[in-house]
Amino acid sequence: MDLESTKMLKHSGRHSPPPESFADKIYQFRGAFLMVALPLLLVTLILYVRPSASSNESIEDYALTHRKISPDRIPSESFAVIFDAGSSGSRVHVFRFDRNLDLVHIGKDLEVFLQLKPGLSAYAQYPQQAAESLISLLDKAESVVPLEFRSMTPVRVGATAGLRALEGDASDKILQAVRDLLKQRSTLKSEPNAVAVLDGNQEGAFQWVTINYLLGKLGRDYSDTVGVVDLGGGSVQMAYAISETSAAKAPKKVPDGEDPYVKEMFLRGRKYYLYVHSYLRYGLLAARAESLKQSDDSGNPCILAGYDGSYKYGGKSFNASSSPSGSSLNECKSIARKALKVDESPCTHMKCTFGGIWNGGGGDGQKNLFVASFFFDRAAEAGFADPKSPVAKVRPVDFEDAAKKACQTKLEDAKSTYPHVEDGNLPYLCMDLVYQYTLLVVGFGLDPFQQITLVKQVKYHDSLVEAAWPLGSAIEAVSSIR
- Which of 90, 82, 87, 86 shows the shortest CA–CA distance to 112? 82
For residues 161 and 248, membership in a common domain is answered with no
Asked whether residue 398 carries a pLDDT value surpassing 50, the answer given is yes
Co-location of 193 and 254 in the same domain: no
Contact 140, 115 (CB under 8 A): no
Residue 23, SS3? helix
Residues 140 and 241 reside in one and the same domain? no
Is-contact 421 433, C-beta < 8 A? no
Number of domains observed in the structure of the chain:
2
The gap between the terminal CA atoms of the chain, to the nearest Å, is 76
Give the 3-state secondary structure of residue 33: helix
Average pLDDT over residues 400-420: 97
Stretch 393-400: mean pLDDT: 98
Residue 43 forms part of a structural domain: no
Tell me if 446 sits within 8 A of 455, measured CB to CB: no
Strands 195-197 and 369-373: unpaired
* Range 279-296 average pLDDT: 93
Which CATH number covers residue 187?
A: 3.30.420.40
Least confident window among 342-356, 366-380, 411-425: 342-356
With respect to residue 247, please indicate whether it lies within any of the assigned structural domains: yes
Is residue 457 in some structural domain? no
Contact present, 456 and 466 (Cβ < 8 Å): yes
Q: Is 22 helix (H, G, I), strand (E, B) or coil?
A: helix
Residues 155 and 248 both lie in one domain: no
Given this model, what pLDDT does residue 387 score?
94
Instruction: Please give the mean pLDDT across all residues of the chain.
Output: 85
Q: What percent of the chain has pLDDT over 90?
A: 66
Kindly state whether residues 369 and 244 are assigned to the same domain. yes
- In 3D space, the residue among 382, 319, 315 whose CA is nearest the CA of residue 167 turns out to be 315
- The closest alpha carbon to 91, from 375, 419, 373, belongs to 373
Query: Does the pLDDT of residue 298 top 70, yes or no?
Result: yes
> What average pLDDT does this structure show over 321-339?
95
Name the active-site residue from 111, 203, 400, 466: 203
Rounded to whole angstroms, the Cα distance separating 185 from 139 reads: 9
Mean pLDDT of 425-454: 97
- Asked whether residue 120 falls in the same domain as residue 172, the answer is yes
Q: Which helix (H) or strand (E) holds 434?
A: helix 429-438
Answer whether residue 46 is part of any domain.
Answer: no
**Is residue 132 located within the same domain as residue 105?**
yes
Please check whether residue 79 is in contact with residue 149, taking contact to mean a CB–CB distance below 8 angstroms: yes
- The rounded distance, in Å, linking the Cα atoms of 145 and 389 is 29
Mean per-residue pLDDT, 212-222 = 91
**CA-to-CA distance for 193 and 360, rounded, in angstroms?**
31
Residues 255 and 179 in one domain: no
**Per-residue pLDDT, 64:** 39
> What range defines the domain where residue 340 resides?
210-450
How, if at all, do strands 155-159 and 391-394 pair?
unpaired
- The pTM score is 0.76
pLDDT average, residue stretch 93-100: 91
CATH of the domain at 391: 3.30.420.150
**Per this entry, what is the length of the chain?**
482
> Is the same domain home to 173 and 221?
no
Co-location of 295 and 186 in the same domain: no
Q: 1: burial class by Cβ within 10 Å (0-12, 13-18, 19+)?
A: exposed
Q: Which long-range contacts (CB under 8 A, 24 or more apart) does 377-384 make?
A: 378/284, 378/429, 378/432, 378/433, 378/436, 379/454, 380/420, 381/418, 381/420, 381/421, 381/425, 381/429, 382/406, 382/418, 382/429, 382/433, 383/418
Has residue 257 been placed in a domain? yes
Clarify whether residues 190 and 241 are in a common domain. no
In the residue annotation, 422 being an active-site residue is answered as no
Note whether residue 34 is domain-resident.
Answer: no
What integer is the mean pLDDT of 129-155? 96
Segment 19-61, tens digit of pLDDT: 555 445 445 555 554 454 554 444 444 444 333 333 333 444 4
What does DSSP assign to residue 190? -
Tell whether the model's pLDDT for residue 198 goes beyond 60: yes
Query: What is the distance between the alpha carbons of residues 317 and 292, in angstroms, rounded to a whole number?
Result: 10
Percent of the chain clearing pLDDT 70 (strictly above) = 84
More confidently predicted of 15 and 152? 152
pLDDT interval class at 270 (50, 70, 90): confident
Answer whether residue 302 shows pLDDT above 80. yes
Give me the pLDDT at residue 3, please: 40
Residue 423 within any structural domain of the chain: yes
Residues 148 and 232 in one domain: no
Q: What is the pLDDT of residue 87?
A: 82
> Does residue 292 lie within any of the structural domains?
yes
Burial degree of 453 (CB within 10 A; 0-12, 13-18, 19+): middle
